A and B are shown apart, each in its own frame.
Chain A
Amino acid sequence: MTTDAQPATALTPVLSRNWDRPDSFTLQSYRETGGYEALRTALNTDPDSLVNMVKSSGLRGRGGAGFPTGMKWSFLPADNPKPRYLVVNADESEPGTCKDIPLMLANPHVLLEGIVISAYAIRSSQAFIYVRGEVLHVIRRLKHAVAEAYDAGLLGRDILGSGFDLDVVVHAGAGAYICGEETALLDSLEGYRGQPRLKPPFPAVSGLYASPTVVNNVESIASVPSIVANGVEWFTAMGTEKSAGFGFFSLSGHVARPGQYEAPLGVTLRELLDMAGGVRAGHELKFWTPGGSSTPILTDEHLDTPLDFESVGSAGSMLGTRALQIFDDTTCVVRAVGRWIAFYAHESCGKCTPCREGNFWMVQVLDRLEKGEGTEDELDKLLDICDNLLGRAFCALGDGAASPVMSSIQHFRQEYIDHVEQGGCPFDHRKSTVWGADS
């Protein structure tokens, strides 16, 4: 990642620090760059102090919702005699999100170190990593890293002579986006169909096998060793007051140098685009998602919105997974939204009616609109369906599906109407693809 101009906010490579080493994924390489040192420190610290440390660092969940990680850990009931579980959510399948998978591929040991520290902090001796079934290469790499860690005494009995035991199981999903939702994930881990459970009770009280369970995103857990190693002040010096620290910003789409940029929260899209070589040459930014397809789209008006939880919220969207999908002026917004909704329709688990039926019908309507066969009234129909989805679906997948539809109509209503009036799509789709741009 080279930078053309000196950006106002500099990158903060922590989890990606060793990515350019050819053997970054090996235990040896991770150790050469200081890996597993934080674990030694942690194992000499009282577990409750570690929970407090993570709490005061202000680390917020990196899986989308941004719930404070230390607080989640402290919700585990002290008087429950059942075993406690740590479950790492590595199901990453939100359209546009590509941070956990590259991280686990390039640096699986930082996740494992985070798991041992976190499990020790919450007094759990059994952890699971639930990985998307599709990414066989990542599953292989994780299993290899887990085996390396067992051999080196970093997992298993009496870790580093501390008396602490921990087993880690890598569990493969089998192709279902909904299994990223934490309670659906738990059902899937128990061997059932992955459908969300009613909350409360929350997993902290009754999770895996009805035992107290912490479910955290890969990046949340992988951030823990750096906090233990460098301290709370180091962490809070990055980011904003309420959104502390650093995170991956994954840029994809119409941008010169797509990829994962690890930067402090609060960086702006303008700064990130500067580092990434800007929007595709000869084109302007049209719209973008701040955190994957489930977060309402933003436009070029929002280039200077700080990408932290609060600011993106006040701009009418959500920080989500920081999956910045960039679309330039060649992109038909109706088509893009149609593709996303087709995804949600396919991935709806079918448990509740608003989502199962709503997405099905939205696909039909969007398809008609894109082909120029729709009517202006149908925009209201779409909004009506969204109204029945948002806040009324059983889980957040339904809310996520309403986001692109509502926000695109809010920002680009005229473009929908153009389709109706012209009886077809005003865009040449080839121009929005890489090969079409050259011809």
Chain B
Amino acid sequence: MSRVDVAELVRSVVENRRHERGPLLVILHDLNDQLGYIDSTVVELVAGELNVSRADVHGVVTFYTDFRTEPAAGVSLKLCRAEACKAVGAERVVEHAQQVFGVRVGETTPDGSVTLDQVFCLGNCALGPAAQVNGKTHGRVDENRLVEILASAETTERASATSPGEPS
């Protein structure tokens, strides 16, 4: 996206949300969903639109884990590493994923196809190990199932919290 397009997008997102009180977090969620990340250019644009300081926006972006400051890959893979999933083999899945993609947790593959992240509990404890792929939660994930899920994720759309759609 060119700078002009980004500016246009930021303006329209802010316009949609301006009537809400304390809209910064919602605006950042929208932008994070649509752009995949929020970098310093976006921070500056949002600050300008809302008439707050860049530091205010930067502070919020960096406080919350969900906001990315670098481009996200086509596939966002989050593996649960909380106690319940650990007890049923989450660490093996994490190690496997790190090996297969050649990245560590928190990193994106050099070709930009997959971002590997960790998350602490998806509330799917009875069906661990759990993974979230492009916003969709999967249970009983092992090395083989991980490959299957990722293969099908490539072809499906990104699901986000803000898009309507049926609950899955």
A residues neighboring B (CB under 8 Å): 25, 92-93, 95-96, 98, 101-102, 105, 133-141, 143-144, 171-176, 188-194, 209, 252-254, 258-259, 325, 339, 343, 349, 432-435
Contacts and interface: CB of A to CB of B under 8 A. Distances in A.
A340 to B, nearest CB: 9
A191 B22 contact: yes
Residue of A105, A137, A138, A252 with highest tally of chain B CB at under 10 A:
A137
A209 B21 CA distance: 9
Interface stretch (B1-9, B60-68, B108-116, B148-156): B60-68
A139 B165 CA distance: 12
B83 A252 contact: yes
B157 interface: no
B86 interface: yes
Given A25-B167, A98-B121, A144-B167, A435 B89 contact: yes
A189 B60 contact: no
11 contacts: A96-B83, A102-B123, A134-B119, A140-B161, A141-B167, A175-B64, A188-B25, A193-B63, A193-B64, A254-B87, A435-B88
Contact of A135 (B21, B60, B122, B160): B122
A383 B2 CA distance: 55
A439 to B, nearest CB: 12
Contact of B167 (A92, A140, A209, A433): A140
Contacts of A254: 87
Contact of B88 (A105, A140, A433): A433
B147 interface: no
B125 A258 contact: yes
A172 B65 CA distance: 13
Q: Interface residue tally of chain B, by bracket?
A: 35 or more
A252 B123 CA distance: 12
Nearest to B21: A209
Nearest to A131: B161
Given A191-B25, A193-B60, A95 B136 contact: no
Interface of B: 21-26, 28-29, 59-60, 63-67, 78, 82-84, 86-89, 92, 119-123, 125-126, 132, 135-137, 159-161, 164-168
Contact of B123 (A105, A133, A140, A189): A105
Contact of A325 (B25, B83, B88, B92): B83
A136 B64 contact: no
A174 B28 contact: yes
Contacts of B123: 92, 98, 101-102, 105, 135, 138
A255 to B, nearest CB: 10
Given A137-B168, A193-B60, A433 B89 contact: yes
A133 B64 contact: yes
Nearest to B123: A101
Given A136-B132, A137-B136, A144-B167, A191 B89 contact: no
A93 B21 contact: no
A349 B24 CA distance: 19
Nearest to B25: A191
B163 to A, nearest CB: 9
Contact of A136 (B60, B89, B159): B159
A435 B22 CA distance: 47
A174 B65 contact: yes
B121 A93 contact: yes
B22 A176 contact: no
Contact of B24 (A135, A192, A339): A192
Nearest to A347: B120
